[in-house]
């Protein structure tokens, strides 16, 4: 589990390997990750978009950008928590991800980026 705080917004990420949805013989490895977003600031904020950097140990790198997270653009009052789960497919048993969320303060419509800390995607068989 990794955590980072940017401007009072705390992001915590935990990843999971999903063997039942993976096929190592075909270089298909599925990981899910749970993100917890905590608004520890004094402002009401809305998550507008995401930007991910995804790395595979096969030296593949790709980026994903889009509105919201899993179809939502949550508004978080001070003290609110939003949690969601998503997935990532890799062609090897290890990789990593990190990124940013673009947030908007509701008080003055100012926007800022919140860092999503780098987290590892590792199949347990790689650890042996």
| Helix/strand/coil for 124 | helix
pLDDT digits (tens, 9 = 90+) for 86-111: 999 999 999 999 999 999 999 999 99
Q: What pLDDT is attached to residue 127?
A: 61
- Nearest Cα neighbor of 25 from 91, 88, 87 is 91
What percentage of residues in the chain have a pLDDT greater than 70? 98
Domain count, the chain: 1
Burial class (CB in 10 A: 0-12, 13-18, 19+), 79: exposed
Neighbours of 109 (CB within 10 A): 8
CATH code of the domain containing 102: 2.60.40.1470
Residue 55: which domain range?
Answer: 2-127
pLDDT digits (tens, 9 = 90+) for 55-81: 999 888 999 999 999 989 999 999 999
């Amino acid at each position: 589990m990794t955590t980072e705080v940017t401007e009072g917004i705390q992001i915590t990420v935990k990843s999971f390997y999903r063997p039942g949805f993976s096929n190592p013989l075909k270089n298909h490895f599925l990981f899910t990750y749970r993100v917890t977003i905590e608004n520890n600031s004094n402002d009401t904020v809305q998550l507008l978009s995401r930007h991910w950097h995804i790395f595979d140990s096969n030296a593949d790198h790709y980026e994903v950008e889009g509105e919201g997270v899993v179809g939502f653009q949550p508004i978080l009052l001070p003290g609110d928590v939003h949690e969601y789960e998503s997935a990532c497919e890799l062609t090897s048993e290890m990789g990593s991800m990190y990124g940013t969320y673009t947030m908007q303060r509701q008080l003055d419509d100012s926007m800022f980026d919140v860092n999503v800390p780098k987290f590892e995607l590792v199949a347990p068989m790689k650890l042996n």
